Structures are given as C-alpha cells and as structure tokens.
Structure 1
Amino acid sequence: MATDPMAQIRASFFVECEELLESLQDSLSALQDGSSDSETVNTVFRAVHSIKGGAGAFGLDALVAFAHRYETVLDALRAGRLEVTPDAVRSFFQAADLLQDHVRAAHDGTPAPEGAEAVLCALETLIGGPAEPEASPGFQPVPFAFEPIPLALDFDAPDDLPAPARWIIRFRPADALYASGNEPLHLLRALAALGAAEVRCDTSDVPALEALRPDAALLSWRITLPGEIAEEELREVFDFVEDVCTLEIGREAEAAGARPPAPAIVAPQAVTSVARPPAVAEAPAEPAPPPGPVERRATPRETAATVRVDLDRIDRLVNLVGELVINQAMLAQSVAEAGLPPNSAVMTGLEAFMMLTRDLQDSVMMIRAQPVKPLFQRMARIVREASTAVGKEVRLHTEGEATEVDKTVIERLAEPLTHMIRNAVDHGLETPELRLAAGKAAEGVISLSAQHRSGRIVIEVADDGAGINRPKVREIALARGLIPADAALTDAEIDALLFLPGFSTASQVSALSGRGVGMDVVRQAIQSLGGRVTIQSAPGQGTRFSISLPLTLAVLDGMVVSVADETLVVPLASILETATLAEGDIRALGPQTNVIHLRGAFVPLYDLGAELGYRAPKPSYEGGIVLLTAQEDGSRAALIVDAIHEQRQVVIKGLQQAYGRIPGVAAATILGNGRIALILDTADLVQTATGRTRIRPLALAG
C-alpha cells in the first residue's frame, strides 16, 4: 500500500519539532543559569523561528501565530533591546511550554491550548507592548514581478540592484517538490517575513498552453534580501525541501564591477554541485580568480546521520532476538548432551554462533536505549507549573541526563516521577518565609539525577526542604487505624507509611494533593517495572526518593545456579565474586543466623533454599558455594547455592501481569532444555529475607 508523501513530510516536521523544542529547553536552562551569550540567545530564537517556518508550510495558523509573537520578543532579546532577567526567563519558559502544547495540538488535530493570550501579553509587556499590526504573522502577499530573468549564474555582469552585500537566492523547484505536497508560495512568504524582499519569477520555461504539463516544475525565482540577515536563517526556510530543489544562496557584489565570491550551494547530502541549465556557458573566456572561501557551519544533519524507525518495528526485532537467544541456548544444550568433543567443528561453530548472538543482542539493546533527558525536561515543566500553583520559588537541578535506559522504561516512568515531583514541591519544600526563617535561601531546589549502579539504573528525586515530619505521619496513621497504638516503628517503617493507599499528610485538598492518591501509585508503577523505591529523610535537610530499575526489559546476563533441585538465575551484574566456604569462615550470630568473615569484614549469610521455601536450613554450610552480591546502598550479602552451572544470556519473561509481585523474584526465563527458571532480584530478596541459616535449638522452641 502506497504511503502519502505529504503525511510522511508532516510526520517528519513534528519529529523535527521535538528536537527543536528540546534545544529550546536546553538553551532556556542555560539562560536561567546565567549564560546569556549570543550563541545561546540565537539558538533560542532559531528554534522558535524554525517551528514557525515549518508550521507555515503546512498551514498551521494557530501555531504560526503563537510562534510569531513569541519570536518577536526573542528578536528584541537577540538585538539587545531586552535584558535577560529572572522574570523574562520565567516568561520564556511559560511560552515554551505553551509552544509545546500548540505543537501537540497541531499534531493531534485538537483545539489550540487555552491561556496562550495571557502568556503572550506578559511576554510583550517585556518589550513595551504588542508589535505593530503590520508585523503580524498573516504573511501579506508578496508582490511578484512575472518577468523572465536568466537562470545562468553570470556574475561578470553586475546586477542593477544598488544595495551592496545583499543576499541573492536563486530557487528552482524540482518536480518532486510539488509531488511531495510542498508549496513554493509558503517558502517565499517565509523569506519575506525575514526582511524586505524583492522577488522576481522566471517564466521563460513555461510553454504554450497546449504543450503545458501540469505536473512539471517550470517556474523559478530570484529573491533579494537584506545582507544583515544571518545565512542560517535563510537556509532554515528550505530545510524541508533542500533535496527536491536547486538552491543557490550568495552575496551580491559589494562594489560596482567587483566579482563576488561564488554563492554557497545547498544540495542534498553526497551532492557537491548543482546542474546548470543547458544554455549556461561552461567556461569564461578568461580564467577567473578562484572564489573566496565560503564559511559554512556543520549542521547536526551532517555530523550525525540518523534513521527514524517506528518503535513497533524495534519491539518486533527485540522479540525476534529474544527467541534467537532461546534457540541458541537449546542448541547448545543439545550439543552438550550429544557429548561432542570440545575441539569438534560443531562446537567451534556453536561458539562463533554464540558470540554473534551476543553482539546482535547488544546492538539491538543499544537501539532501544535512549537518554533520560527528554523525561527530565518534562519534569522541569511540572516543577514550573506546580511551584506557580502553590506560590513557591523552586528550581530544578538535573544530573545524568545522558544516562541511557530502555525506551519502555522511560515512557512508564513519566507518571510516577510526576507524582514525586509534585509531592516534593507541595509537601517537601517550605514556603519562602519559612525557608528564610530557617536560614535557607528563599528558592527551594529539587534535584533529579540518573546513574547506572550495580547493573541497574537509579533515579533519585531529592529536595532541600524540611524533611518528613515523622511524628505527624505516625499520628495520622494512628488516627486512620493503619497501625496499632503500641506499635514500635523505626524511621524507615514510618517513612514506608507514605506508600499506603489513601494516606496523605495534606491538611486540605488542593489542586496538587490531599486526596491520598500518589505515592501508592508510584510504588505500584515502579514495581510493575521490576523496580523498587526507597526513602531517606533528615529533619530540616530534605528528603530523597531513590528508584532502582532494570536497565532493560528484554535480555540480561545471568548466572545459572541450582538450589534444592530447582534452577535459578542470578543477574550477573549483582555478583561481585563466588567463593567456597571453609569451616573458619562461618560465625554464629544469634540463635538462627550466621555471618561469614571475608577479608576482615563480616557479611550476612542467606540460604536461598530456605528463603524461597524449598527446604529447611542446612545443619552445616562447610564447603558450600556462596555468591557475594552487591546491594545498591554499597553493602554486601552472601547467598548460599548448591551448584553453579554456567553464565549465559537469558530472555526476560515478566510475571507481574499473571502473578503480581513476588518478593525476591524479578521475572522468569526459558532455559535451553525448555524448563522455566526464576530470575532473582537479589536486593529485594535480601530486604525481605528472614536470615535463617541455622535450625532453631529445641530448648528455645515452643
């Protein structure tokens, strides 16, 4: 089935808008941090201008109108008529948020967002009021003089145009430009919006009516624009059509009779010249001096070529790779059972096949991995909106934006992070008056960070507020009957009460909180991803929420072990080392638990068989095999297993949907022999473990 070229171009425009909006947010953040250099300001201006130009080509009038008024204020900033102040940057951020809403509305075909006029009026107040009516984005018709002009680039004969160093643009569409749904009139109007334009149309190739082909591109244009316009702005107008037209941009001679440098050529990638019409003379009578160097800045499109692919196709590829990993494991199992010698041709080929499978899996995982930066930028908007709603001064500080994680994880993190950010603004941070009274800055800071740790991704949301009021939390829990009156709770257990459904510390219901819905949703969403969330809080210093998640939801490297005739998989990233226990390594701790002495430190000992309910603790662990695992807080734990079989890649099969959350179990996988093995979550297993590694003495029983 043929695809609509116009729909493809429109989709490419909205993908380009996402990149421009990301660039806009980055540059505004730099302005907020005090970097007001010309390049940062120009990046802000160009992002809005490019969105406006592309929207004009598709007739998105509401988006064009909003972007034009926003651009007018940014132009004043670029020209030095407006200073970078906190109020100005705040207004720029609000306008950027609404611009994003306009782009989304244009993409979805929904009505334009409300509240735009108030934000635009606040913006225009910064420059003394709205612009003149004639500067509106209506794009008044450009007067075209339809008189034939030669297309040959004969720069030996000086033009009659008097202004020196002006831009001369020669634009000739190809047939494909019209076939793709583009309209040269929109491009000419966009050029006219940059400055006073003189446009001449060449109709010399238009044949008689009876010989006219309606699908042929027969017109071309020569446009002259003021020289103070940046070349980058001119090229941005043609961003979406540069591969379906012949385009030449150059400067006019600066003095009469002078020969200007050859104009820069804009052409598709891998094309270094533009074909001249047949009538153009190929060489001058006398040798001409070499043209001056044309400075051209490398664009992102040249430095990093990308291919945009639907996520459904990538998911299908990931699933196929997962099945390939399972079949490779089954083949290896069959070869091992056949008893072939290690140096046989089959074993050699199998090893090469295993290496190729691993490389393929790693490459596919890299395709799915994306930086968390877009997610963090969405949270910056949540901070701005929430702080405005509660009347607090809040700044978001981010770290680790380049940290990559599976795209599915990123998408499903948006909702829990939104709840956590809003809670931090509403509950975590004090009002400016209380902060000043406590010796803090009036502006509160929320930190959002991401990093890889122990084979997982850890995302932390921290604030420098008053911390959790544990007496108040306990009092509310008692009043609602969530805990008994004589309960002796630790600080961690009191903090965990915040995750109970319906629990809220808000004294009254507001637009942000008070209905008891939020933190329980956060925990459920994170647990559905195979993750967990923990809290650390200090009175007067703030609160930190840590979210630990698997890097991917598809494939992982694991150690295959057996416990009580059951096969289990332990993630390789959590294993520091393996060891065999000697008699002097084991020390008793209490009536039912043991620890091991390892390199001058004591490490708690956990019997996997006893913890998972497969069997009772063994009478002795001398000669037993332990896996020394690393926990996210830096501590260590030793897990006792009966045997270690091999290290292999396993395909993750989720259990949450069918069985709910299982303590200590992250997922399942299919082994080479077709059996199902559980994949352990060692950190969760240790947190919920009883620690029983000794049989309770009979004298203490009963």
Structure 2
Amino acid sequence: MFDFGDAVDAPEDMAPEAWVIHFKPHKRLYETGNEPALLLRELARLGPCEVSLDTSELCALADLAEPAACLSWTIELNAPVELEAITEIFEFVEGECDLVILPKTDPLADVEESSVGDVDIAALLAAATAPAPILDGPAGGDVDIQALLAMATAPLEPAPVAELAPTPKPVAPVVPAAPPTSSKAAAPAGNSAPASGGQASIRVDLDRIDKLINVVGELVIQQAMLAQSVAECGIAASSTVKVGLEDLEQLSREIQDSVMAIRAQPVKSVFQRMPRLVREVADMTGKHVRLVTEGEATEVDKTVVDRLAEPITHMIRNAIDHGLEDVEGREAAGKPKEGIIRLAALHRSGRIVIEVSDDGRGINRERVRKIAVDRGLIAADANLSNEETDNLIFLPGFSTADTVSDISGRGVGMDVVRRSIQQLGGRISIASTPGKGSVFTMSLPLTLAVLDGMVVRAGGQTLLSPLSSIIESFTPKEGDLHRIGARDWVIRFRDRFLPLIDTGRVLGFSKPDAPEITGRDGIAIVVENEGGSQVALWVDDIQGQRQVVIKSLETNYRKVDGISAATILGDGRVALILDIDALVVLGRQQANQSEFKIAS
C-alpha cells in the first residue's frame, strides 16, 4: 500500500479540512460479496459527503460479454478526519479496488467532477508517488502546479534523455514519502509497496504454495519410511546413523513448519470486518455497543481464515441481539449503558482459540429448557447439566427469540456456527454466568494440511481417528457391553450408557463370519460428534499417536462413506482417516436396516 501520510504540509496533529477519494472497484470486489454502497455509507458516518458516480466505462448490455466492474466513484468528504479513519473503511477490500485518497488542498485532488471519468487513476498514483520531473524555470523557483496536473492526467511517456540536465537537482516530490510512524495511508488497495527500510515481499500464487506443501509432505513421509527401514535392518543402534536420522527428522519438521507458515495469515482480515457489523446491528437493535478486539496479529492457515468470517459474524450478531440488554435493562442491572463485545484470538497448545464474549445477561437456562421441551427436543424430566442445557442453542431450528426479525428468530445462526467449526476440525464451548455474560470459545487447528490423530486397527485395516474428536479410550470390563435389539450395542462409560459402533463391521472390513464384539478383545474410544453427543467406537487395537499429512481421497479415488481422507504412515502403509460424524450416521443407518456392508 502506498503511503500518502505526508501529503499535507501541516502538523501531524492537524487533519485536513476535507478529503477527495477516488474509488474504482474491481470485479473481484463484487464476487466476494462486498457492496460499494456499504463503503459509501460508512464514509458518510465520518462527515458530509458529496458523491459523484462515473459511468463512462458502462457499455450496453448486449455488448457485455462477461460480468465486469464498470462504475467508479469520486467522494468529497468535508470533515477534518484523520487519514486512518478513512483507510480503515477500505482496509478489508484491499486488493479488490483502485483507491486514491488525497487532501482536498492537494493539486491532484482539484479535478472537475464532470471530468472524473477521464482521469486515469493509475496515472494519478504514478504522479502522486514519483518525484516530479525538472521543470523549466529558475533553480529553486516555484513549481508550476498546472503543469504537474497536466502530467498526472495525460498519458505517461518517457521523457527524452537529452532534455535532462547533466547533473539534475531533484525538485521536492509532489507527495513526499511518509515517515515510518504513519503506516496507514491512502493507497491503491490493489497494490502494495514495501516501506522504506522494511522487509521486501513478493506475491506467490496459492497453487504454487499448495504444491510446495504437498512436496514437503512427501518428504516427511519418505523420512519416516527411511527411519522405519533402518530400524528393520538393525543398524539404527549405530550412534552415527541414529544421530543422522534424528537430524534429518528435525530438519524435515522445520521445513514442514516453515512451509506451513507461508500459508499463515493474521486473523486481522476477519476481525477488521466486525466493527461495521457491530455498528449496524447496534443501530438495528437500539443498543449501545462497543467492540474490543485482541490478538489481531495471531496467524492461522489461510483456509481457516477464509472460513472464520461466517461463524464469527453469527456469534457477534447473537451476542448483541440475545446477550446484551437494552439501555434500560443495563441501567436496572447497575451496568454501564454501553455493552462490551470482546473478540480475541490466541495460540494455545498448537491450536488457535477464538473467543467471543459479552457482558450481558447470560443464557437463561430455564427458558432454553422450556423451549426445548415444547419443541420435543428433550423429555420434560430430562436431567441436563448446565453445559448440556447451554449446548441446546446449537440445535437446528432452535431460537429463543420471541419474533422473527432480520437479525434472529429463524434458528439457523448457532447451528451454522457449530457446523462450520466442526467442518474445520474444531469444537466450540460455552461458559455462561447469569447476569454477567457469556463466553463462546472456538478451538481450531492451525492448518488443514496436517492432522494429529490416533492410529488404530479395526477389521484388519489401519485407520486414523482425529485427536480433536477423541474424549477418552479404555478397555471395557466384563458386563460393560450390552446388546439393544438385534444389532445395536451400548457400553457403560462413567455411570452412563453410550451407543457403541463396531468400526470394522460398519465400514465393511470385518469378515461376515467374524465374532460379535463380546467374542473378541478390543478397545472402546469415546468420541464426540458434530452435534456434541458422545458415542464409542470399537477397535481391535491402538497403535499410537501420529501427526500425518492429509491426502484427499476424493481427488485420488472416490468418496467413501465414513472416511474423510487418507494418509501414508512412516512404514508405507495407507491409513484411512475416519469421518466421525459420517461414521455415526452410517452405523445408525445400518442398524435400522439390519444389514451391514461387506468389503469388496
């Protein structure tokens, strides 16, 4: 982003009286769901605006071969606001538009509104960021502003070398470079330039990075296979070989971590969208709300960042509409009129944790329970803990709103949140205190390219269960297993019974004449599915915990029920990664049909 922070020859604490903003969206801006009207509305919040629409590039509908961005705007903001306040509005569309922000007193901003369509924004930027050429006139004389403006708006052509003075003495640039203390400034949002003395950067296509990650993943697999082969040959006891393998493993892990860091992006790109959302929802509800953000520099894989916006948006809307009291309610409770929404990100135990909290009324568990009973979601005599009661708000169609509005009442918001988090391999929890507020905590993996899992054997096949879904594993005692009906099994776990799924049989790996669960040794793994309920998976053996590189099964083979992906272990074996939710659904379907799939 270019820096125009010193475009005004005024003290740093004095903002210009007015600004001129040239805004031209790219096609990508519309494709990502952004609306220029919303940006203009945010500008209007800063002060009086005069907006001019340029339609000079708009062609006839019959001549429009494909969707294109044909409109641009020039906005005159007549308010002494800081430059950072303006750039903050356009910050989340960086790379999706051309943007020029200049003080109204700047000669380049003094363009007739009627001729806005003829101004080349790229030329304006070039003239604004490059030193002015030598003009005819006495040394140290006044610069011809009209000549500069003509150069900025005319087609750019290189000047003949012969016209340059032998030892040119540069005239002060039209827009001097900004000092390091002014990092946010007017710039074309589609471009970036390294700051003076800062680190240089390059743009790399995401497909190239993905390919590099795949190659590094293969390197890690080959390193593990080499270590396995050396161990089988009996030469791993050699100190030289052992040290060499350990060094190779460490280097492979460092390379993998470094490549993963390339895809990492700060969550700031998501967080910076939320202030506008908070203002809009607060206006719609008539509440006074202040958003506090923490940990915007926390980095996570780009894929995770791209998919965080939807669940965070739903949670903030829910916190304002359901969590915070209105002004009268807060005053009656002895709270400040202004409610606080806190959005924070941090790293914890190799994962990223996102917290959305409020200082509102908390969850009314009696009301939640009553609604759940009325809708037949739970029995009237169900004995639920506070945590289980709170989790009822994640059920599809569940809502505590009295009426349906543009904000809430449809019962889809929190259901979408949990589903989105589960699809990312994460989980969400609630901590609510009546009268003091609620905290929603999302725990997500830092990347979707690698996975921490538990390697198990079931039906003679090697499988991998994601660690994020595992609650506990144990060897059942005699009398813990019970048959329900013809095919269903349950297992006793901490004084309650959980559904038990015979993993190998459900996936079709077990032979038709294989003995029932009670006739063979095994281990029960308690897992949590997407809906928050717990089930137990029956496996033959647990072989250990591994971090593996995820390989798409659909890309290389086809979709398989109960399986989400595959990986290659260090000994060369292919392990299938379990899709816990799909496996539970598959087990129920087979139990209802009283038939099981046989492996082909």
Quick check: 1:498–1:504 contact (8 Å CA) kept in 2? yes
8 A contact 2:225–2:572 mirrored in 1 = yes
Q: Cα deviations across residues 123-180 of structure 1 (Å, max 9, x unaligned)? A: xxxxxxxx9x978974369xxxxxxxxxxxxxxxxxxxxxxxxxxxxxxxxxxxxx99
1:199 aligns to what?
Answer: 143
For residue 445 of structure 1, what is the amino acid of its counterpart? I
Partner of 1:106: 97
User: Is 1:325–1:649's contact at 8 Å kept on the other side of the alignment?
Assistant: no
Choose which of 379, 389, 399 in structure 2 pairs with 1:494: 389
Asked if 1:671 corresponds to 2:566, the answer is no
User: Offset of 1:365 from its aligned partner?
Assistant: 1.4
Q: Which amino acid aligns with 1:74?
A: E
- Residue matched to 2:427: 532
Partner in structure 2 of residue 650 of structure 1: 548
Q: Deviations over 1:488-523 (max 9, x none)?
A: 544333333322323322222322222333112112
Matched, 1:552 2:447: yes
Say if 2:339 and 2:358, in contact at 8 Å, map to a contact too.
Answer: yes
How many angstroms does 1:96 deviate by? 5.3
> Is residue 436 from structure 1 mapped to residue 331 from structure 2 by the alignment?
yes
Cα shift at 1:375: 2.0
Partner residue, 1:285: none
User: 1: distance between equivalents of 2:382 and 2:574?
Assistant: 42
Paired AA for residue 106 in structure 1: C
Closer, same or farther: CA 489–185 of 1 in aligned 2, 3 Å: closer
2:573 counterpart letter in structure 1: R
One-letter code aligned to 2:422: Q
Counterpart among 393, 411, 435 of residue 516 in structure 1: 411
Confirm or deny: 8 A CA contact 2:92 2:272 kept in the other structure. Answer: no
> How big is the shift at 1:450?
2.1
Instruction: Answer whether contact 1:199 1:224 (CA < 8 A) is retained.
Output: no
Identify if the C-alpha distance between structure 1 residues 360 and 64 changes in structure 2 by more than 3 Å, giving closer, same or farther: same
Farther-moved stretch of structure 1 (444-453 vs 586-595): 586-595
| Counterpart amino acid of residue 139 in structure 1 | D
Instruction: Please tell me the residue identity of whatever aligns with 2:143.
Output: V
Aligned partners of 2:265 and 2:158: how far apart in 1? 48
Of 274, 278, 294 in structure 2, the residue corresponding to residue 399 of structure 1 is 294
AA partner of residue 73 (structure 1): V
Report matched runs for 1:13-162 at 5 Å.
13=1, 65-66=74-75, 69=78, 72-74=80-82, 98-100=89-91, 106-107=97-98, 138-139=109-110
Unaligned runs of 5+ in 1: 1-12, 22-37, 76-91, 113-130, 142-178, 191-196, 203-211, 242-268, 270-298, 596-602, 630-638, 686-702
> How many residue pairs were aligned?
476
Partner SS state of residue 357, structure 1: helix
Distance 1:500 1:649 in 2: 32
Q: Assess if the C-alpha contact under 8 Å between 2:22 and 2:75 holds in 1.
A: no
Change (3 A) 1:431 1:239: closer
Whether the aligned pair in 1 keeps the contact of 2:22 and 2:74 (CA below 8 Å) is no
Equivalent residue for 1:453? Answer: 348
Match for residue 471 of structure 1? Answer: 366
> Aligned-pair distance for 1:440?
1.1
Q: Does 1:325 align with 2:220?
A: yes
Contact preservation (8 Å) 1:398, 1:447: yes
Q: Does 1:372 align with 2:267?
A: yes
Moved more, 417-426 or 348-357: 348-357
**Residues in 1 aligned to 2:553 and 2:400: alpha-carbon distance in whole angstroms:** 34
1:410 aligns with 2:381: no
2:43 match: none
Letter matched to residue 676 of structure 1:
V
Question: How far apart are the structure 1 equivalents of 2:204 and 2:272?
Answer: 23
> For residue 363 of structure 1, what is the aligned residue in structure 2?
258
Q: Secondary structure at the match of 1:302?
A: coil
Q: CA deviation at 1:651?
A: 0.5
Give the aligned residue type for 2:81: V
Distance 1:467 1:647, change over 3 A: closer
User: Could you tell me how far 1:628 is from its partner in structure 2?
Assistant: 13
SS of aligned partner of 1:540: coil
CA shift for structure 1 position 403: 2.5
Q: Which residue in the other structure is 2:67 paired with?
A: none
Over 3 Å counting, the alpha-carbon distance change for 1:531 and 1:501 in structure 2 is same
What is aligned with 1:543?
A: 438
After TM superposition, give the deviation of residue 482 of structure 1 in Å: 3.7
Distance 1:96 1:436, change over 3 A: farther
| Structure-2 separation of matches of 1:537 and 1:660 | 39
Separation in 2 of the partners of 1:393 and 1:619?
63
Shift of 1:468: 1.9
Q: 1:656 to 1:545 in 2, by over 3 A?
A: farther
1:427 matches 2:322: yes
How many Å apart are 1:360 and its aligned residue?
1.1
- Deviation, 1:394, is 0.8
Contact 1:139–1:189 (8 Å) recurs in 2:
no
On the 8 A contact 2:289/2:340 being kept in 1, the answer is yes
Determine the C-alpha separation between the residues in 2 that align with 1:421 and 1:235.
31
Describe the shift of the 1:540–1:101 C-alpha distance in structure 2 as closer, same or farther (beyond 3 A): same
Shift of 1:357: 1.9
User: Deviation digits for residues 236-290 of structure 1, max 9, x if unmatched?
Assistant: 999999xxxxxxxxxxxxxxxxxxxxxxxxxxx9xxxxxxxxxxxxxxxxxxxxx
Supply the AA of the counterpart residue of 2:110: F
Per-residue deviation at 1:187?
5.4
Q: d(CA) in 2 for partners of 1:504 and 1:576?
A: 29
* Higher share of residues assigned helix: 1
Change (3 A) 1:452 1:501: same
From the superposition, tell whether residues 180 and 482 of structure 1 become closer, same or farther in structure 2 (CA, over 3 Å). Answer: same
In our comparison, the structure showing a higher alpha carbon Rg is 1
Q: TM-score, normalised by structure 2?
A: 0.60
Cα separation, partners in 2 of 1:213 and 1:327, compared to 1, 3 Å: closer
**Structure 1 pair 654–479 and aligned structure 2 pair: CA distance change class (3 A):** farther
* 1:336, distance to aligned residue in structure 2 (A): 4.2
Alpha carbons 1:447, 1:462 under 8 Å: kept: yes
C-alpha distance in 1 between matches for 2:421 and 2:201: 32
After superposition, give the CA deviation of every residue in 1:562-613 in whole Å (9 maximum; x if it has no partner).
57855455778999999x99xxxx9999997588xxxxxxx99x99997888
Say whether the 8 Å CA contact 1:609–1:617 is kept in structure 2.
no
Contact conserved, 1:455 with 1:574, CA < 8 A, in 2?
no
CA contact (8 A) 2:92 2:273 kept: no
